[in-house]
Amino acid sequence: MPAAIAIVGRPNVGKSTLFNRLTGKRAALVSDTPGLTRDRRMGEAMIAGQPVTVIDTAGLEEGPTSSITGRMRAQSELALSGADLVLFVLDARDGVIPADAVFARRVLAAGVPAILVANKCEGRAGTHGFYEAFRLGLGEPIAISAEHGEGMGELSAAIAGALGLKAEGDETAAGDLETDRSAVRVAIVGRPNAGKSTLVNALLGEERMITGPEPGLTRDAVASDLTWQSRSIRLFDTAGLRRKARIFDTAEKLAASDAVRAIRFAEAVVLIVDAERPLEHQDLSIADLIESEGRALVIAVNKWDLVRDKQARLKALRATAAERLSQMPGVAIVPISARASRGLDALMSAVFAAYATWNKRVPTPDLNRWLAEAVEQHAPAAARGRRVKLRFMTQPSARPPTFIAFCSRPEAVPQSYLRYLSNSLRATFDFPGVPIRLKLRKSENPFARR
């Protein structure tokens, strides 16, 4: 009999969307209206090549037993009691609210193995709620976006590990399999008329997009599928991004919003710049947006065939990037000519390398050995005569690589010391060209409850 997985949580956190994502069908109704799901819904999903039963439940709410809310809760509790594994879902954008804490205690009391799922983690809006989820006592949360499919590989691997599932004849984890088989989402962005659509046409090998000397030909983010060196890619051509103060047309505003959305839901972003006017203020603003959204970055310098002293120009570009993109040191800069289809192999190799780095995880023992050495070489300054103790570090998630250091007094650690740790971490474990997140959390006093 297949293992049963119950998806539980308060209303409108994305349980039905996750159910549809796991089963691969739009079976459950999805809406912004809370309480749309009332009965238990079952569907079949494949985890590590083996079938499992997924149960979508109504949102857990307090109410009298005889009321509709009470009966909905009773159905959810039946699913909880008969499950082999529970996926406890919370809305990372809302953070942990009292209802989440109440229902988390019910899951703990049920004694069923549980995985904490922080949904709606795309972009920056869900970062704070993701870290808050640690206090629910259900272990490390897994950051996903059920609507956009982000983090499903890590979630599948966690489910397979919790249920003891292994793919037949293959020792590879389910998450690795899913990552290898899924298309890498790559957004092509830049200023107007930088050659984005020409690059997409060159990669596709056909005139799929309209190109021309007029800026702003592309209005919406157009998706195309291609295979490059046996790797599946979902490629997004986007509208040119200008400064907001220069945008007056409604259509351009919508196009710019669509381009920003493409960045937000991409996994790797190619910033294409004009070789004759490279890394201008708007290019750097776009790069800063990519970093703030936590996406892997590769810079493509287009129209390279028009450059005369190529070595000197490339050296100057790398120096400028090191100085003005210090938040992402080591970003790959690849000269190309989209019109002549030159440099495309090097560009895609850089994209795949950045994507692999973006997915990289560092073992916890290695992290803590590095932390001890980093603190020994340069300890944080004492604040008001009290020393700050950095005790432990872990990496709860990748995409982008995210690290949490537990210390005695997070508020006393200056930003300069955080930059020192980030730079040392990046250099030691080789994280070029991708944003990393380093957060401090207060470690609890183990004797406080006693």
DSSP states of 299-362 as a string?
EEEE-GGG-SSHHHHHHHHHHHHHHH-TTSTT-EEEE-BTTTTBSHHHHHHHHHHHHHHHT---
Are the C-beta atoms of residues 67 and 75 closer than 8 Å to each other?
Answer: no
DSSP code for 425:
H
| pLDDT at residue 254 in the model | 64
Residue 145 DSSP SS3? strand
| pLDDT at residue 178 in the model | 36
CA distance 300 to 203: 13
Q: What is the mean pLDDT of residues 196-219?
A: 71
Higher pLDDT, 20 or 79: 20
Q: What percent of the chain has pLDDT over 70?
A: 80
Higher pLDDT, 67 or 25: 25
Higher pLDDT, 136 or 346: 346
For the domain made up of 4-179, give the CATH fold: Rossmann fold (3.40.50)
| pLDDT at residue 212 in the model | 56
Sequence-separated (6 or more) residues with CB below 8 Å from residue 120: 13, 14, 91, 92, 93, 126, 145, 146, 147
H or E stretch covering 269: strand 268-274
Token couple for 213:
């000397």
Burial class (CB in 10 A: 0-12, 13-18, 19+), 376: exposed
C-alpha dihedral, 98 to 103 to 105 to 108, nearest 10°: -150
CA distance 143 to 120: 8
Burial class (CB in 10 A: 0-12, 13-18, 19+), 164: exposed
* Side chain identity, residue 176: D
Are the C-beta atoms of residues 274 and 240 closer than 8 Å to each other?
Answer: no
pLDDT of 244 above 90: no
Domains 4-179 and 364-442 share a fold: no
Q: Helix, strand, coil proportions of the chain in percent (round to 5)?
A: 40, 20, 40
C-alpha dihedral, 175 to 177 to 183 to 188, nearest 10°: 60
Dihedral of alpha carbons 200, 205, 208, 210, sign: positive
CA distance 130 to 400: 13
Homologous superfamily (CATH) of 183-358 is P-loop containing nucleotide triphosphate hydrolases (3.40.50.300)
pLDDT of 359 above 90: yes
| pLDDT at residue 170 in the model | 40
CATH 3.20.20.140 fits 364-442, yes or no: no
CA angle 413, 416, 419 (to 5 degrees): 105
CA distance 233 to 203: 11
Burial class (CB in 10 A: 0-12, 13-18, 19+), 65: exposed
Dihedral of alpha carbons 242, 248, 252, 255, sign: positive
> Per-domain residue ranges for the chain?
4-179, 183-358, 364-442
CA distance 156 to 63: 33
| pLDDT at residue 181 in the model | 45
| pLDDT at residue 40 in the model | 61
Least confident of 18-32, 124-138, 139-153, 427-441: 18-32
**Cα separation of the two ends of the chain:** 45
DSSP states of 99-134 as a string?
HHHHHHHHHHHHT--EEEEEE--SSSTTHHHHHHGG
| pLDDT at residue 28 in the model | 46
DSSP code for 150:
B
| pLDDT at residue 73 in the model | 62
DSSP states of 377-418 as a string?
HSPPPPBTTB---EEEEEEEETTTTEEEEEES-GGGS-HHHH
Q: What is the mean pLDDT of residues 274-291?
A: 92
CA distance 127 to 118: 10
Least confident of 50-64, 123-137, 331-345: 50-64
Adjacent-strand bridge partners of 297? 269
CA distance 174 to 46: 10
CA angle 236, 433, 205 (to 5 degrees): 30
CA distance 330 to 354: 10
| pLDDT at residue 103 in the model | 85
CA distance 178 to 156: 8
DSSP code for 221:
-
